[in-house]
């Protein structure tokens, strides 16, 4: 109850630190894991460049899996925060049960589908005869863990939603460290190659699922995961899915853009350009992960205060979040701009791949400082239950604008046009999200000066 009272009364800046820093740390460790994971794969003798290109081919499938994982988890945890803000404890526990049931169902279905259609999907997403082996070895293992990965991630999000962000972050950090330790053991020690990286990943996911389940059953949680509530409750599923749709389509959008990008890259740069894009994406995630962590902290604070009928606190959270996010991304932009070769060198020593990736990073990340506005702005609408607006704004950057741009611009500028497409989409998305936020605050007659006072 103390955590819930602080959401209602404590200084917003302190709350953002309290709720976002643990999530940011978890996201940064996750980013470190992704970096180390891909660095290990890229360093595999004689096949590193092709292996990391094969990993790039898996990105659309990984983001589809992530869309269900993250979307449902956010839908569940946001509703938990809203119900707690309304002082409805029992309904919050029912939400947790339905969230777990939905994630478990989706995980089992995806595991079964992967057994029959994995090859066809990977070829459709840009695999070639040279990269299919590595892509299939990785994804076949990842899908085998979907049935416990999805519920585990949802429960971890609900821990944050009930007001215990430090524990949620500690779980993620511990699991990522475990993953980093296991990777070289399975990749090199057991000589399993890229499949070993996937095995390390699903073991860490099982760890999170086990710990989170223990917390909500036998641990010191405020809310409990009760067996009688683990069911697909139609009424609660509507509430969960209404909010889940925004992060779901945002993640799915990332998958669709990976698919389109892989196809375009294959035309203008071949397999190695796909590997270069995987490298550039990994580098950008080093700095975007803190923003995603910040968004998680914001989500809990905004959702709770929205449920508690305190809109000023919700909006002040957004303004401070955007400020902090912009500072983080600007620092990231400067560092990458000054030392691109050092960052690319983490993932590959192949000279051809290095040259392509360095050119890409100089162009692709030029608008990094402004990305926080579009990402956090859409999270604000998501957290107050404005699902349609949030979904549209989330899709702007990665679908509505980016896909047409990436299909047109490369026809004029070739591979450089592929790299330039994301900055064009980032700028336009920031402008449109800003307009939506301005209209929202003007509609409620809430002056910016009053919010930031």
Q: Which of 282-291, 332-341, 370-379 has the lowest mean pLDDT?
A: 282-291
pLDDT for res 219? 93
Cα→Cα distances 94→74, 107, 236, 333, 418, Å: 15, 20, 8, 43, 46
Task: For residues 238 and 255, give the distance between their C-alpha atoms in angstroms, rounded to a whole number.
Answer: 24
Total Cβ atoms within 10 A of residue 387: 17
Residue with tokens 């500028």: 413
Cα separation, 319 vs 36, whole angstroms: 34
pLDDT given at position 190: 92
Tens of pLDDT, residues 52-96: 778 778 877 888 888 899 899 989 998 998 898 888 999 999 999
Q: What is the pLDDT of residue 336?
A: 93
pLDDT over 90 percentage in the chain: 47
184 near 40, Cβ under 8 Å? yes
User: Are 298 and 378 spatial neighbours (Cβ–Cβ below 8 Å)?
Assistant: no
Largest Cα–Cα distance in the chain? 63
Lowest mean pLDDT among 50-64, 114-128, 190-204, 227-241: 50-64
Flag whether pLDDT at 451 surpasses 60.
no
Q: Write the Ramachandran bin of 309: left for phi over 0, alpha for psi from -120 to 50, otherwise beta.
A: left
Cα torsion for 162, 168, 170, 175, to the nearest 10°?
A: 160
Average pLDDT taken over every residue of the chain = 87
pLDDT tens digits, 309-349: 888 888 899 999 999 999 999 999 999 999 999 998 888 77
**CA 230, CA 213: separation in Å to the nearest integer?**
12
pTM greater than the 0.85 cutoff: no
């Amino acid at each position: 109850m103390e955590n819930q009272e602080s959401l209602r009364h404590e200084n917003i800046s302190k709350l953002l630190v309290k709720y976002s820093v643990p999530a940011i740390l978890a996201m940064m460790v996750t980013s470190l894991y992704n970096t180390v994971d891909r660095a290990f794969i890229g360093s595999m003798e004689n096949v590193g460049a092709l292996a990391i290109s094969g990993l790039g081919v898996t990105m659309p499938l990984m983001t589809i899996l992530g869309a269900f994982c993250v979307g449902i988890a956010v839908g569940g945890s946001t509703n938990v925060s809203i119900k707690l803000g309304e002082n409805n404890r029992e309904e919050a526990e029912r939400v947790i049960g339905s969230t777990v049931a939905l994630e478990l169902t989706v995980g089992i279905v995806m595991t079964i589908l992967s057994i029959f259609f994995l090859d066809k999907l990977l070829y459709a997403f840009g695999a070639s005869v040279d990269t299919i082996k590595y892509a299939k070895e990785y994804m076949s293992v990842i899908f085998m863990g979907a049935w416990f990965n999805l519920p585990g991630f949802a429960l971890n999000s609900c821990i944050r939603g009930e007001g215990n962000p430090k524990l949620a972050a500690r779980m993620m950090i511990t699991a990522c460290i475990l993953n980093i330790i296991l990777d070289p053991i399975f990749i090199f020690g057991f000589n399993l190659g890229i499949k070993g990286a996937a095995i390390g990943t699903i073991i860490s996911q099982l760890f999170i699922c086990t710990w989170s389940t223990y917390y909500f059953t036998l641990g010191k949680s405020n809310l409990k995961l009760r067996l009688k509530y683990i069911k697909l409750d139609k009424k609660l599923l509507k509430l969960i899915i209404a909010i889940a749709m925004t992060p779901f389509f945002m993640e799915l959008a990332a998958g669709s853009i990976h698919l389109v990008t892989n196809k375009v890259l294959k035309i203008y740069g071949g397999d190695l350009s796909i590997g270069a894009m995987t490298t550039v994406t990994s580098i950008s995630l080093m700095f975007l992960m803190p923003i995603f962590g910040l968004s998680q902290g914001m989500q809990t604070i905004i959702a709770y205060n929205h449920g508690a009928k305190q809109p000023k606190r919700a909006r002040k959270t957004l303004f401070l979040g955007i400020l902090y996010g912009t500072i983080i991304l600007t620092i990231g932009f400067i560092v990458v701009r000054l030392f691109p070769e050092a960052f690319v060198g983490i993932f590959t020593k192949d000279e051809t791949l290095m040259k392509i990736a360095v050119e890409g990073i100089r162009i692709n990340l030029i608008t990094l400082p402004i990305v926080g506005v579009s990402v956090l702005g859409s999270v604000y609408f998501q957290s107050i239950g404005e699902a349609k607006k949030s979904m549209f704004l989330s899709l702007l950057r990665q679908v509505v604008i980016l896909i047409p741009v990436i299909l047109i611009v490369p026809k004029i500028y070739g591979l450089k046009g592929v790299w330039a497409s994301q900055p064009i989409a980032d700028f336009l998305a920031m402008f449109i999200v800003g307009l939506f936020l301005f209209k929202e605050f003007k509609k409620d007659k809430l002056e910016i000066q009053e919010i930031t006072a």
